[in-house]
Amino acid sequence: MTCCQSAPTWQQSSPMGLAQESPPIGPLPSFDLEAELMDEFQGPVVGIDEAGRGPWAGPVVVAAVILNPDRIPEGLNDSKLLTAETREDRYAEIMATSCVAIAIGQVRRIDRDNILQASLWGMRLAYRSLETPAVAALIDGNIVPRRFPCRARAVVGGDGRSLSVAAASIVAKVTRDRIMVKLSRRYRSYAWESNKGYGTPEHARAIKKHGVCTHHRRSFSPIEEALRLLNESAREI
C-alpha cells in the first residue's frame, strides 16, 4: 500500500514549516535527525516503524513515511502515547500530506521466519514500496535490516525522537488496529476489537474456551502451550 503527495524540491526544503505550539510537557520528537541527513545526502529521509511485534494474533505491520518538511502535521508523537481518536486524526493528516508505504507481515510469515525477521522483511518492503525514493532511513529500534536498500540509521526510541518515525508509528498502529477490528467481526470470541490480539487475560480465557484460529501465531509460546493442552485434552477424551 502506498500513498504519496507532492513534495517541494528537497534541496530547498527546510524544517521551518513546523507550526508553533504551546510549550510541550516533556520532550517531543523533532525534525532534527531528518534535517541532518537531508543536508548530508541532499534528498528526502524516510522514517520506519512497526506495530504488532508482541501480540498473540494478527499480522505485524510496518510503515515508511516521508514527511513533507513544509507540511508536517501538528501533534506527531509515539503512537502509544496518543489516544485512538488522536491517532486516527493524525493518520488522516499524514496520509494527506506525506509519502507513505505499508507492508503487512502475515501470521504464516511470522511463524515461518520468526517475528523479528518478519518485521525486518517488512521494513525492507515498505522502503521499496515508496513512490518517492529516500536517500536515507531512520528506523525505530536498534537493528538495521541486512541488505537495506539505502543508508539507514537505527534510532532507539525513535518514535519519541524523530517526527518521521513517530508518523510511521501512527500509520502502522492505525493500520494494524483496523485489521484486527475487521478480523474481530468474524472471530468474535477473542474480542480483538478491544485487545487487538495482545495477550490479555480476556484473550487467554477465550483461547482456553474456544481454542486457536488461523490468525493466532503458533510459534509464540502462549499459543504453543494452548495447543499442547488442547491436544492433551483431546487424547484423554
Helix, strand, coil share of the chain (percent; to 5) = 45, 15, 35
DSSP, res 54: S
Lowest mean pLDDT among 54-58, 78-82, 190-194, 225-229: 225-229
Which pLDDT belongs to residue 226?
87
Instruction: Count CB-CB contacts under 10 A for residue 230.
Output: 14
Model confidence at 122, pLDDT cuts 50, 70, 90, reads: very high
| Percent of the chain topping pLDDT 70 | 86
State pTM to two decimals. 0.88
The arithmetic mean of pLDDT across residues 68-93, rounded, is: 97
Which pLDDT belongs to residue 25?
52
Query: Is residue 24 predicted with pLDDT exceeding 50?
Result: no
Between CA 44 and CA 134 the distance in angstroms is 5
Which pLDDT belongs to residue 230?
67
Model confidence at 235, pLDDT cuts 50, 70, 90, reads: low
The cell for 146 is 541486512
Average pLDDT, the chain: 90
Which pLDDT belongs to residue 27?
82
Cβ-based burial of 61 (10 A; exposed 0-12, middle 13-18, buried ≥19) = buried
Query: Is residue 20 predicted with pLDDT exceeding 90?
Result: no
Model confidence at 234, pLDDT cuts 50, 70, 90, reads: low
**24, 155 contact by CB (below 8 A):** no
The arithmetic mean of pLDDT across residues 131-139, rounded, is: 96
